[in-house]
Structure 1
């Protein structure tokens, strides 16, 4: 056998071991991307500025220009804000020392099946409405069991009050805030029975206004205490289907971070 024939035979024998073909490399996930890029993408994030609605205990943020070089179009700004500013992530360490900080949340927890629980019609009639287990069971009757690992967003349409701080807080003459929220029975079901990864909402708080007026944040503490993260002040949930979309939840990898503005978007089926 000639050396040339031996080389050809050896190459043919080895190709299966390296999982390649003689014609072309495998495309990997590019075909998946080609499919996704043709879908509708929806931004679920409010734009950042220094006066946007925020939790009642925070002062406004600041921004100032440090350097400019006009001929080059160069500009550097300094931003000063609390971690929980605008659409933002709350990692477990936000409420529970020793649990995960932002940098400890793996990227595999940032691309998730998206479930939308829609309570906006109930909220129109009652701003103090909290999602019930019946609401969740009705969703599952329509779409099947909420998938493990999902991101569950609570649609109340409260984000349509943006960017008015007073309308977002909705405080009456007696100082009582009136805005919707989660309920303990629903959160326990989602996190402990359905094993979801994370949740989010359009209001400044997980807990409804009637609770936060009394400085009761027990529902937020529950989620974070289970070592899960959440997203607050979501936008455009009214543009999403109840089931079938994907959520992409991104935020800077702040070492030992206890909260930071996030960029969240959905890819629709």
Structure 2
């Protein structure tokens, strides 16, 4: 009996195959892809920093409860299509099937080390596919630049020059179109504050973020720890509250990779 047929036979006898799957996943490496965020965390210059106040405390009330005030795009966060396009899906309209996905990591960190303005190219994608075969349909595609290692230093994340121009890596139009229109990706993510490179955002050009969201897909910004992942073979889980009509919210993302 072949290995495959033995597995099929075992699965047929298993009354709880999803519990068995959980045991398999537990044996993998679980990697947190979200930053810990607080009142001093980096965020887009147009947003106000998070604040919190204590509504109930242990000494007086026997329990604790805090009120948090923050923009939706705070810390590691999800941008649904409605963030840029009011006629497209809001946060609560994203389906749970879109939150557990095959994870593709496009690694350009070595190129970014030599050119902070580097944007991912179709050559980078083709090289990934030569090593790993086609990008799977429905994948979450993450752009590894190692920019997350600059967190939580806001100045380092922005990387401004003497003229106030930001120098950060980013996506490119041809790659975004290919991933979503040809490969059928479900979502994308990156380690920087923005989808667009800093040279574009410095002149208030957020067209690539608008492009991603125009495809009725979501993105995750300010991912962490992509350096700990294989470029193929892992799964990603992206969790966030189901807030009605929300145009963004902090997210907890994590990956499960082979041990």
**Same-fold call, TM > 0.5?**
yes
User: Displacement, 1:73?
Assistant: 5.3
Partner of 2:189: 200
Find the aligned partners of 2:120 and 2:75 in 1 and give their Cα distance.
23
Partner of 2:251: 262
Candidates 85, 91, 96, aligned match of 1:107: 96
Partner of 2:173: 184
User: Displacement, 1:166?
Assistant: 0.5
Partner of 2:127: 138
Cα separation, partners in 2 of 1:183 and 1:74, compared to 1, 3 Å: same
State how many pairs are aligned.
Answer: 246
Equivalent position SS for 2:64: strand
User: Displacement, 1:220?
Assistant: 0.4
Q: Deviations over 1:59-102 (max 9, x none)?
A: 21101111113387511111000000000000000000110000
Partner of 2:35: 46
Find the aligned partners of 1:74 and 1:120 in 2 and give their Cα distance.
45
User: Displacement, 1:175?
Assistant: 1.0
Equivalent position SS for 2:105: strand
- After TM superposition, where is structure 1 displaced by more than 3 Å over at least 4 residues in a row? none
Partner of 1:70: 59
1:5-84 equivalences under 5 Å are: 26-70=15-59, 74-84=63-73
Q: CA RMSD in A?
A: 1.3
User: Displacement, 1:142?
Assistant: 0.1
User: Displacement, 1:113?
Assistant: 0.1
Find the aligned partners of 1:90 and 1:101 in 2 and give their Cα distance.
9
Could you state the TM-score of these two structures normalised by the residue count of structure 2?
A: 0.93
Partner of 1:170: 159
